[in-house]
Amino acid sequence: MVKLLTDTDSFEFRDIPNFTTSTAPGHAGRLVFGSLQSKSVVLMQGRVHMYEGHSAKKVAFPVRVFKLLGVKTLIVTNAAGAINRTYNVGDLMVICDHINLVGLAGLNPLVGVNDSRFGPRFLAMSSAYDKGLRSLGLKLAEELGMKEFVREGVYSFQCGPFFETVAESRLLNVLGADVAGMSTVPEVLVARHCGIRVFGVSVVTNRCVMELDSGEELSHEDVLTMGEKGSADMQRLISKFVDKID
Ligand SMILES: O=P(O)(O)O[C@@H]1C[C@H](O)[C@@H](CO)O1
Ligand SMILES: Nc1nc2[nH]cnc2c(=O)[nH]1
């Protein structure tokens, strides 16, 4: 994605106060400012995850910096495994909602004293992913000829770093998840808390294993390979999306 930006200026996460360097392979750890479709953007090249040992607050901290920079829209992307059996590897999924098992249990960035300079103590999350932005994303996917493989669904956040057991994947299916991932949701909570609107897209890098003794085993290498393949479609969609949003 960063290659599509012009007039760039970048900063290593490690050089920015209170940012944390990513240890996950495939996550560079760089903040890049620039222009995309004549719009000013700031792009996180990589992110940190709770499974790296960071608190939800630490993971979501950059979003508060974005708020102070004047960011109005947060576009979140991630790699995820398909729980929904109609999804295929390489599909994109516009996120319409999420399940935050980690956060519901108390590990979320809004726990603790509320900083009312950013937002309220109690936060409605019933329309977390902006309806107008979702409709625009799906319309643009159709215009780009991507309708066949762009879905809309529910992202379930698990801490990781392990991929789900068969019973866990089946549980997520019963709960209504379409895909499972290890990121994104802490950042979305902090964005909604401070009034930033959110658009999210997952790239389906694998199908979660839902048959016991099937012999299938997931690996991060497969996720990286398939993520790289899906990223061309993701970039086309996001680029067009940035062009069209106000
Ligand atoms: O940062 P995301 O959620 O895109 O990365 C996913 C989750 C893990 O970091 C990794 C699993 O292989 O990919
Ligand atoms: N939790 C989870 N995260 C992923 N990220 C990419 N694939 C997966 C997956 O199958 N499960």
Nearest alpha carbon, ligand 1 atom 2: 78
Nearest-10 crossing angle of helices 56-69, 185-193 = 40
Q: For the CA atoms of the chain, what is the radius of gyration?
A: 17
44 C-beta closer than 6 A to ligand 1: no
The position carrying tokens 């959110």 is 198
Q: Where are the beta strands (DSSP E) in 6-91?
A: 6-12, 30-36, 39-45, 73-82
Residue to mutate, 93, 95, 164, ligand 2, most ligand atoms under 8 Å from C-beta: 164
Question: What is the topology classification, in CATH, of domain 73-244?
Answer: Rossmann fold (3.40.50)
Matching residue, tokens 């950042």: 187
pLDDT exceeds cutoff 80 at 216: yes
The residue extents of the domains of the chain are 73-244
In the chain, pLDDT over 90 holds for what percent of residues?
89
Q: Which residue has the higher pLDDT, 24 or 243?
A: 243
Strand arrangement of the beta sheet that strand 6-12 belongs to: 6-12, 30-36, 39-45
Average pLDDT over residues 119-140: 98
User: Chain-wide mean pLDDT for the chain?
Assistant: 95
Report the distance separating Cα 221 and Cα 230, nearest Å: 14
Atom of ligand 1 nearest to the CA of 219: 12
Q: What is the pLDDT of residues 59-85, one digit of tens each?
A: 999 999 999 999 999 999 999 999 999
Q: Is the pLDDT of residue 26 over 70?
A: no
Cβ-in-10-Å burial (0-12, 13-18, 19+) of 237 comes to buried
